[in-house]
Chains A and B, each alone.
Chain A
Amino acid sequence: MRQKERQDNTPPSGGGGETGGGLDRLREQADRFLAAGDEAINRALASSDSETFLRANRQQGGE
């Protein structure tokens, strides 16, 4: 459930006392989250090696 739909202070998902079906749903949500994270990370890392990337992004001053 999106936060945008959760403004009525209903209890958040992920708490205790879940039924079997609820746990399955939570597992499925967690799997989708991690799969989406892996996909986004792999796409982001595809174009440059980390050492070169960090060198290119060096901050020269700031604040």
Chain B
Amino acid sequence: MVRPMFGVESEYAVAGLAGREPMRRDDLVNRFVRAANRSLAHLPDMGSSAGMFLENGARFYIDCGLHPEMTTPECTTPWELARYIKAGERILQGLAEEVQAGAGAATEIMCFRCNVDYSGSGSTWGCHESYLHRANPASLPEQLIPHLVTRAIYTGAGGFNPLVNWPEFAVAPRLLHIQHAISSDSTGNRGIFHTKNESLSGDGYNRLHILCGESLCSETAIVLKTGATALVAAMAEEGLRPGAGLRLASPIEALHAVSTDVTCKQKLCLAGGGEATAIEIQRRLLHLAECHRGVLPPWTDAVCGLWRLTLDQLEGAPDSVSTVLDWAIKHKLFHHRAERRGIPMERFAFLGSIVRRLNAALAAVGVKSRGVRLSTLLAPGNPIPEEMAGSGSALAAEGLSWDHLDRFLSLRDEFYQIDTRFGQIGPRGIFAGMDRRGVLDHGVPAVDGVEAALRQPPAAGRARLRGEAIRRLSGQRPGACSWMSVSGPDGRTLDLSDPFADAEVWRDPPAPPAGEDAPPEMLLADSLDDAGRLHQMLDAMRRRYGRSRSRAQGPSATTEGPNR
């Protein structure tokens, strides 16, 4: 039987606003790091000068785009994973509150679960899943892609297509950035299936790394995303070929179709002939899991029950998921708001087509459309008079006017802000506010114990050993941590290469080779730009080689902590 283990790494957006003035991002992020150094029991991350591992087994670090990233500890059930995602967000909220206290009431410090950037940067915030497995990695794309494409009907975060400059609702906006079926890239040219296979474990294990997911608020959506995907991966590992007969003729076309289809009923072309909707493909996968529950994880029945219920709702009573799934909650809110503004969402596609025409005409005369106001185009001497006349006629034929288009465009920034604020972490978030009012049905009973998970690691596997070691060693120098090991102040190393390890095995440091004068294998490049890390590295050298520390005194005397 497959032994499941998985985790999620989420990039979060942070912003500080002092009146109309945004805080400098590097200043803001430094404040988060200082708050983390002060208030979280941790060991520095061996692999990054801007990271740390926490006593609950998670990893917190600052990513290259100057945003915080939280990776859950390794978990063994979907609800445990949801618990640690929520715990990570509570930790982040605590840091934001600490930064807020230092910044003063005139500045608003905000932290968001975000997926796409509406400022026009073309960037995204990632939410990547990792699944431990022992299958042949080469066999996985065919078995997993049909699932990864169609699961968006319940894993979609909802929002707006970030690739156009008008509000076009999307079930899964971040997936519209994905342009390849298979890719090894994670920062550009991303694929539905990511070929990265860095196991972060000992021999015999592989790690399936999925980057076509989104950050979510709904517990049901989080549990289903992980649970269903872990089951499909487990079925592939068991040789059950979950992708058989479901190969899509064009996975990218299908992905984009599913990501924008709020009916979930669009037919997708299968490579072997015929068509199927996303719901039908998901039902086939669900049925396969139910038929083979004996070789699948012990929580299979519980996940399959929720999976079936959600597919039934999507198919038979779509309105009932509008209190459950992220995208459906948002769709209902935006639908209501647009209606009240006199521009029903049913008109968005047509109005968007007019904007598309205007954009194309502007581009043809060498004018960038972003930043051009409609009032400029309606004024005498506009650069595209023929297109304005044609578009005006098209609007009139639909019973609409330029005023409708103007109102439609004015909704854009407001809708983008609402979408971003929906996932704001803390009490001011829209999802959080609605949940407090008891109008959402997203909760899953087993996603409990979040408060304890702020400090306690999962009960099973190496995450428990890591967390317990960090609690004991936090603050002691030198000490550091990675996914596969913890190094203590006495120079010994806790081996965590077995992901299911249940007892601590500490290894003595290797004896230095005779005559060897080189420094130990540490991350020198990462350390040189960080005085705290340099100090730590020199301490390790002194301990290991018995040299005088005199040359290391300078940097150590001037640093606050190992993660500055």
Q: Looking at the complex, which one of A12, A34, A43 makes contact with B317 (CB distance below 8 Å)?
A: A12
A4-B443, A60-B123 known; A45 vs B418 contact (CB < 8 Å): yes
A61-B418 in contact (CB<8A): no
Q: Collect the chain B residues with CB atoms within 8 Å of residue A36's CB.
A: 433-434, 437, 439
Q: How far is the CA of A59 from the CA of B187 in the complex (A)?
A: 13
A62-B63, A63-B190 known; A57 vs B117 contact (CB < 8 Å): yes
Report the contact-size class of chain B (Cβ under 8 Å from the partner): 35 or more
For the complex formed, measure the closest distance between the CB of B374 and the CB atoms of chain A, giving whole angstroms. Answer: 16
For the complex formed, measure the closest distance between the CB of B248 and the CB atoms of chain A, giving whole angstroms. Answer: 24
Q: Collect the chain A residues with CB atoms within 8 Å of residue B22's CB.
A: 52, 55-56
A11-60 contacts to B, CB under 8 A, are 11-16, 29, 32-34, 36-41, 43-45, 47-60
A50-B417 in contact (CB<8A): yes
Q: How far is the CA of A55 from the CA of B309 in the complex (A)?
A: 40
B114-A57 in contact (CB<8A): yes
B319 within 8 A of A: yes
Q: How far is the CA of A51 from the CA of B308 in the complex (A)?
A: 42
A3-B117 in contact (CB<8A): no
Q: Collect the chain B residues with CB atoms within 8 Å of residue A52's CB.
A: 17, 20, 22
B16 within 8 A of A: yes
Q: How far is the CA of A54 from the CA of B308 in the complex (A)?
A: 38
B119-A55 in contact (CB<8A): yes
A45-B421, A59-B117, A61-B66 known; A9 vs B309 contact (CB < 8 Å): yes
B257-287 contacts to A, CB under 8 A, are none
Q: Collect the chain A residues with CB atoms within 8 Å of residue B126's CB.
A: 62-63
Q: Collect the chain A residues with CB atoms within 8 Å of residue B124's CB.
A: 59, 62-63
B433-A3 in contact (CB<8A): no
A41-B333 in contact (CB<8A): yes
B20-54 contacts to A, CB under 8 A, are 20, 22-23, 25
For the complex formed, measure the closest distance between the CB of A29 and the CB atoms of chain B, giving whole angstroms. Answer: 8
Interface centre among A11, A39, A58, by most chain B C-beta atoms within 10 angstroms, is A58
B445-A4 in contact (CB<8A): yes
B337 within 8 A of A: yes
Q: Using an 8 Å CB-CB cutoff, how does the interface string of B226-258 with A read, 1 for contact, 0 for none? A: 000000000000000000000000000000000
Q: Collect the chain A residues with CB atoms within 8 Å of residue B336's CB.
A: 34, 37-38
A54-B114 in contact (CB<8A): no
For the complex formed, measure the closest distance between the CB of B11 and the CB atoms of chain A, giving whole angstroms. Answer: 6
B439-A33 in contact (CB<8A): yes
Q: Looking at the complex, which one of B108, B211, B312, B417 makes contact with A12 (CB distance below 8 Å)?
A: B312
B413 within 8 A of A: yes
B392-416 contacts to A, CB under 8 A, are 413-414, 416
A15-B16 in contact (CB<8A): no
B369-427 contacts to A, CB under 8 A, are 413-414, 416-418, 420-421, 424
B67-A45 in contact (CB<8A): no
Q: Collect the chain A residues with CB atoms within 8 Å of residue B173's CB.
A: none
Q: Collect the chain A residues with CB atoms within 8 Å of residue B219's CB.
A: 3
Residue of A nearest to B25 (CB): A60
Q: Collect the chain A residues with CB atoms within 8 Å of residue B11's CB.
A: 62-63
B97 within 8 A of A: no
A54-B66 in contact (CB<8A): no
Q: Collect the chain B residues with CB atoms within 8 Å of residue A16's CB.
A: 317
B418-A41 in contact (CB<8A): yes
Q: Collect the chain A residues with CB atoms within 8 Å of residue B442's CB.
A: 3
Q: Collect the chain B residues with CB atoms within 8 Å of residue A58's CB.
A: 117, 119, 121, 123
A2-B441, A53-B417, A59-B124 known; A43 vs B428 contact (CB < 8 Å): yes
Q: A40-B432, A63-B11, A63-B124 are in contact. List 14 more A-B contacts (CB 8 A).
A: A3-B444, A12-B313, A13-B317, A13-B320, A37-B434, A44-B428, A47-B108, A56-B22, A59-B117, A61-B65, A61-B66, A62-B63, A62-B117, A63-B186
Return 15 A-B CB contacts under 8 Å, by A number: A2-B443, A6-B309, A7-B305, A9-B308, A33-B332, A38-B336, A40-B433, A50-B416, A54-B118, A57-B110, A58-B119, A58-B121, A59-B125, A60-B123, A62-B117
